[in-house]
Amino acid sequence: MTDTPTTRTEVLRADEISRALTRIGFEIVEAQKGEDDFVILGIHNRGVPLARRIGESLRRTGATDREIDDFVGTLDITMFRDDLAQHPTRVPYSTDLPPSGIDGRTVVLVDDVLFSGRTIRAALDALSSLGRPRNVRLAVLVDRGHRDLPIRADFVGKNLPTSRREAVRVHLTETDGDDAVLLERPLTEEETR
């Protein structure tokens, strides 16, 4: 079986990703109306470095004086996914909550791409097994549309209209060695001639 030829377009460069995450951080603080009791949880895999970067941006700009580990953590959703039957072999990651926990706090879930909404549904299930937040918000680097579930992001780096045939690839220095968001589109038969 041969791979389908694709074309790649860079839709966000490293500097644009950085600006988007800084803006998301400010939007989170603004939505809190001065309250500094929020927790940011990155969803494994690429949501983790994104959450950390948002937290670092908030510290750097003086939006919070808390230490990163006091308000940024990680969330593993492996056992809450609805596709375990199709892909049963998965390596669970760790869930690391800040010392203050999540009970009664605003929790901001962070992920790289919002697509069907199924990952976020699993994250909500995982979160409810850990405690009872006051409310939950969602921050994503890219919202590409095509929801299967009624889920929307509160904070978005870039809205990127796509077709279902296209793929959005997020590269981060921490996981891939570089920062970029790429849109991959299969070439049509005519384009491959």
pLDDT for 1-23, tens place per residue?
Answer: 447 788 999 999 999 999 999 99
Is the CA virtual torsion 117, 128, 63, 30 positive or negative? positive
Q: Out of 61-70, 81-90, 143-152, 176-185, which region has the weakest mean confidence (pLDDT)?
A: 81-90
What mean pLDDT is reported for the chain?
A: 93
Beta carbons within 10 angstroms of residue 100's beta carbon = 14
Taken in order of first residue, the domains within the chain and their CATH numbers are 14-163 (3.40.50.2020)
CA distance 24 to 155: 6
Using pLDDT thresholds of 50, 70 and 90, give the confidence band for residue 88.
low
For residues 77 and 43, is the Cβ–Cβ distance under 8 A? Answer: yes
Cα–Cα distance list, 176 to 3, 19, 171, 172, 179 (Å)? 22, 19, 5, 5, 8
CA distance 67 to 175: 23
Q: Which residues neighbour 193 within 8 Å (Cβ) at sequence distance 6 or greater?
A: none
The pTM score is 0.93
Strands 6-12 and 72-75: what pairing? Answer: unpaired
